[in-house]
């Protein structure tokens, strides 16, 4: 037997009714502005790589730092918004991620610029509004320190 459904126009200021009762708040949900919003989902490794590339673009000065402000903690943003100097273009080569805690993602990457390789380390934490980079460090050799070769 096929049930027939018919839509009717709502009367002015009439609130819409739901057929099913709203689901209860699960531990992975939070309240924002009086409404229930799902907690941000886990980031995939490819998404972490995309965010790291965006952060490197801001670090290099190829992307306005204001575009990544919502993705980073204030102390990380301060490093991006400092007076810009000419930096070489950094490109990620390999990216590795791990999840030491349910709401934490740590990433490391090999980055190349001007024919040299550097290490990149980053830490992301889950907040009620999304994932945020709380640590971002591009590890470069100290100037003036030459590598010693074994004879």
CATH code of the domain covering residue 118: 3.10.450.50
- Under the banding of pLDDT at 50, 70 and 90, the label for residue 39 is low
Cβ pair 111, 117 in contact under 8 A: yes
92: containing domain: 40-139
Cα separation, 43 vs 138, whole angstroms = 21
Mean pLDDT of 19-43: 53
Least confident of 33-47, 59-73, 79-93, 110-124: 33-47
Mean pLDDT of 58-65: 86
How many domains is the chain built from? Answer: 1
Q: Is there a domain that residue 76 lies in?
A: yes
Q: How many CA atoms lie within 13 A of 109 on its CB side?
A: 26
- Under the banding of pLDDT at 50, 70 and 90, the label for residue 115 is confident
Q: Is there a domain that residue 3 lies in?
A: no
Q: Is there a domain that residue 150 lies in?
A: no
Q: What pLDDT, on a 0 to 100 scale, did the predictor assign at position 59? A: 87
| Residues in Cβ contact with 63 at an 8 Å cutoff, skipping those fewer than 6 apart | 54, 57
pLDDT at 151 over 50: no
Beta strands 91-101; 130-139: pairing state? unpaired
Q: Is there a domain that residue 135 lies in?
A: yes
Q: What pLDDT, on a 0 to 100 scale, did the predictor assign at position 36? A: 55
Cα separation, 73 vs 141, whole angstroms = 25
What single-letter DSSP state applies at residue 41? Answer: P
- Collapsing DSSP to helix, strand or coil, 78 comes out as helix
DSSP H stretches of helix in 1-140: 45-60, 74-80
Q: Is there a domain that residue 88 lies in?
A: yes
Q: Is there a domain that residue 5 lies in?
A: no
Q: What pLDDT, on a 0 to 100 scale, did the predictor assign at position 83? A: 67
Q: Does the predicted TM-score (pTM) go above 0.75?
A: no
Q: Is there a domain that residue 25 lies in?
A: no
Query: Looking at per-residue confidence, does 94 or 83 come out higher?
Result: 94
Question: Which contacts qualify for 64-70: CB closer than 8 Å, 24 or more apart?
Answer: 70/129, 70/130
Q: Is there a domain that residue 24 lies in?
A: no
């Amino acid at each position: 037997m096929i049930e027939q459904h018919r839509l009717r126009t709502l009367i002015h200021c009439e609130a819409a009714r739901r057929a099913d009762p709203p689901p209860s708040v699960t531990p992975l949900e939070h309240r924002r502005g009086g409404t229930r919003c799902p907690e941000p989902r886990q980031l995939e490794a490819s998404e972490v790589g995309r965010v790291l590339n965006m952060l490197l673009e801001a670090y290099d000065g190829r992307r306005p730092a204001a575009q990544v402000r919502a993705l980073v903690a204030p102390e990380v943003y301060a490093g991006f918004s400092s007076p810009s100097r000419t930096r070489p273009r950094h490109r990620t080569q390999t990216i590795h991620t791990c999840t030491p805690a349910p709401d934490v993602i740590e990433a490391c990457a090999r980055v190349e610029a001007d024919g040299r390789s550097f290490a990149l380390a980053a830490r992301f934490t889950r907040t009620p509004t999304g994932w945020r980079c709380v640590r971002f460090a591009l590890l470069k050799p100290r100037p003036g320190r030459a590598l010693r070769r074994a004879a």
